[in-house]
């Protein structure tokens, strides 16, 4: 029953992909660029993630672990002092953290994917998830193995390191805002006032006491 559900999930993703592709207008100027269609995305994403999916059981055995980035591992507190306390120093540290953590919440959102691209990603994720789940299923008492090998403990440290990095970046941007720094040393404001509003004058009505 479990395998039937998995196969059904992948089939549904493929069906969604086929539907999205067939619903795309056939106009020459509406066709996606070469290598940018939903099918291309599915093939590319599956190929790129296949190695990680196949090696996922090694994570449970603690034989293959994602290393903690040195910059995050060196952070003892997100509120460490910044020296020298300049916009240049803050910008440099924020940029280094963003390279590891990815875009912050104040960054401009990327353009939304088309329906066929989303379907391609869904089909690829379903296929990779099936590979990882099937191979990990060969490990008996998986949860106990993860605890015994230290895999769970390492994942906790990795997650805590990234959370500390995110808090550090937020602290740095707050400090940069206090110093009136420009992004990336301060948050990106989407409501920048480029012109001062006219001054409101409250005048007493004629004849008023």
Domain spans of the chain, in order of start: 2-178
What's the pLDDT score for residue 26?
A: 41
Mean pLDDT per segment of 10 residues, for the chain of length 209 residues? 47 44 44 57 59 55 72 94 95 96 83 66 67 54 52 80 95 95 88 46 51
* Alpha-carbon radius of gyration of the chain: 26
The C-alpha atoms of residue 162 and residue 159 are separated, in whole angstroms, by 5
The C-alpha atoms of residue 6 and residue 201 are separated, in whole angstroms, by 69
DSSP 8-class letter at 179: T
Please check whether residue 73 is in contact with residue 157, taking contact to mean a CB–CB distance below 8 angstroms. Answer: no
Phi-psi sector, 36: left (phi>0), alpha (psi -120 to 50), beta: alpha
What's the pLDDT score for residue 16?
A: 42
Per DSSP, which regions of 74-199 are E strands? none
Task: Of 113, 139, 124, 153, give the one whose Cα is nearest residue 46.
Answer: 124
What's the pLDDT score for residue 14?
A: 45
Q: Which residues are within 8 A (CB) of 108 and not within 5 positions of it... i.e. 6 or more apart?
A: 188
DSSP 8-class letter at 30: G
65, two tokens: 């672990």
What's the pLDDT score for residue 71?
A: 95
The C-alpha atoms of residue 1 and residue 4 are separated, in whole angstroms, by 5
């Amino acid at each position: 029953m479990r395998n039937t559900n998995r196969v059904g999930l992948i089939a549904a993703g493929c069906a969604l992909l086929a539907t999205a592709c067939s619903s795309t207008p056939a106009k020459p100027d509406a066709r996606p660029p070469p290598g940018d269609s939903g099918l291309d995305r599915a093939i590319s994403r599956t190929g790129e993630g296949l190695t990680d999916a196949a090696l996922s059981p090694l994570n449970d055995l603690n034989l293959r672990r994602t290393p903690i980035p040195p910059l995050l591992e060196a952070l003892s507190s997100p509120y460490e002092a910044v020296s020298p306390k300049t916009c240049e120093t803050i910008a440099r540290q924020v940029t280094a953290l963003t390279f590891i953590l990815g875009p912050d919440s104040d960054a401009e959102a990327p353009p939304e994917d088309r329906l066929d691209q989303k379907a391609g990603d869904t089909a690829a994720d379903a296929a990779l998830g099936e590979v990882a789940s099937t191979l990990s299923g060969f490990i008996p008492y998986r949860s106990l193995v993860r605890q015994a090998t230290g895999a769970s403990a390492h994942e906790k440290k990795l997650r805590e390191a990234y959370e500390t990095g995110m808090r550090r970046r937020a602290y740095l941007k707050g400090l940069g805002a206090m110093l009136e720094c420009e992004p990336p040393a301060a948050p990106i404001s989407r409501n920048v006032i480029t012109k001062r509003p006219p001054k409101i004058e409250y005048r007493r009505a004629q004849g008023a006491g």
